[in-house]
Amino acid sequence: MTTTTTPSTPGSAPSSHRTPALLAHPPTPGTSLWVHAHPQEGSFNDQLFRAGTAALARRGEVLRSDLYRQGFDPVLRTQDAGDHAAEAGNLASRIAQAHAAGQIPEPVREEQRKLAAAELLVLQFPLWWYGTPAILKGWLDRVLTEGFAYGDMDPELAVPRRYGDGGLAGRRALVVVTAGEDPASIGPRGISGDIESLLFPLTHGTLWYVGIEVLDIHLVTDADVLGADGVAHEIDRLQERLAGIDAERPVPFRSLREGDYRGTRALREDLLPGRVDLGIHRQLAR
């Protein structure tokens, strides 16, 4: 989600004071976009990127955004709002106006074109300080803008089309992350925090927010000590997963429009009372 100004509700993206037409970007079946965020050519991440995109190419067209190689600028500036930069209102709203007027900077527009075409989005990065590299965070800031990824209303329920619905609904995402941590330290009781919680702002607060269904995280641990055999094993494991990616079920996050948060932005008190962990935002098995 875009965080270009302080939102009125903590953790939510800034919204404008208008009701735009429904946002829709029908993806092209079989098309994937792989966004890669690692600076070193020939690195383990680079090998995963090349092997992964080659594997996905067997199911259809693969679009690529190798952010460091293409020199993507991650910094969101007022220039992103085009001629609307000096107008009143928050920056997110002005960027939405620029998007409607066709004034989005071309590098950002090109990334939006690729994302609009993609049925499957792959985000691949090393875990740096328990989050994404800055260049990928900047890609999210500049590409998932209001007016493109979110900002409209559900015409039936009169609630924002967010958390399970939105401009990018109809897509799935796979997060591929490499970590120097060992499996125990980044596991459910690990000292570093479990990977699902660490990346909740990305999987739920960003991707699910704009309507993209999220698949289980593909995690590689001990990535900085893998030998040649370990690298080969991880490449094989990723390629094997990609071969069956279409049969995978997404993480069952709760949808805003289903009513589990009715009347508030917190989960209803009658659902999982007493629990406050992030797991409450997953639906129970039915």
pLDDT greater than 80 at residue 87: no
What mean pLDDT is reported for the chain? 87
What would the mean pLDDT of 177-199 be, rounded to a whole number? Answer: 91
Cβ-based neighbours of 80, under 8 Å, separated by 6 or more: 91, 95, 98, 104, 105, 108, 142, 145
The pLDDT of residue 219 is: 96
Which position has the higher pLDDT, 117 or 153? 117
The pLDDT of residue 97 is: 82
The pLDDT of residue 257 is: 87
Beta bridge partners of 88: none
The pLDDT of residue 89 is: 67
The pLDDT of residue 206 is: 97
Which position has the higher pLDDT, 4 or 101? 101
For the entire predicted model, the pTM comes to 0.88
pLDDT greater than 80 at residue 100: no
The pLDDT of residue 92 is: 79
The pLDDT of residue 264 is: 76
| Domain 32-281, CATH number (from 3.30.420.40, 3.40.50.360, 1.20.1050.10, 3.30.413.10) | 3.40.50.360
CB atoms within 10 A of CB 114: 19
CB atoms within 10 A of CB 37: 25
pLDDT greater than 90 at residue 233: yes
What would the mean pLDDT of 23-32 be, rounded to a whole number? Answer: 94
What pLDDT digit, counting tens, does each position of 125-183 carry?
999 999 999 999 999 999 999 999 998 888 888 888 999 999 999 999 999 999 998 89
The pLDDT of residue 284 is: 79
Do 64 and 34 form a contact (C-beta atoms < 8 A)?
yes
What are the extents of the domains in the chain? 32-281
Buried/exposed code over 198-212 (b: 16+ C-beta within 10 A; e: otherwise): bbbbbbbebbbbbbb
The pLDDT of residue 115 is: 98
The pLDDT of residue 8 is: 30
Angstrom distance (rounded) from CA 110 to CA 115: 9
Q: Which residue has the tokens 């429009």?
A: 257
pLDDT greater than 80 at residue 192: yes
Question: Percent of the chain scored above 70 by pLDDT?
Answer: 90
What pLDDT digit, counting tens, does each position of 244-284 carry?
999 999 999 999 988 898 877 899 999 999 999 898 899 97
pLDDT greater than 80 at residue 200: yes
pLDDT greater than 50 at residue 1: no
Which position has the higher pLDDT, 155 or 99? 155
Angstrom distance (rounded) from CA 12 to CA 197: 18
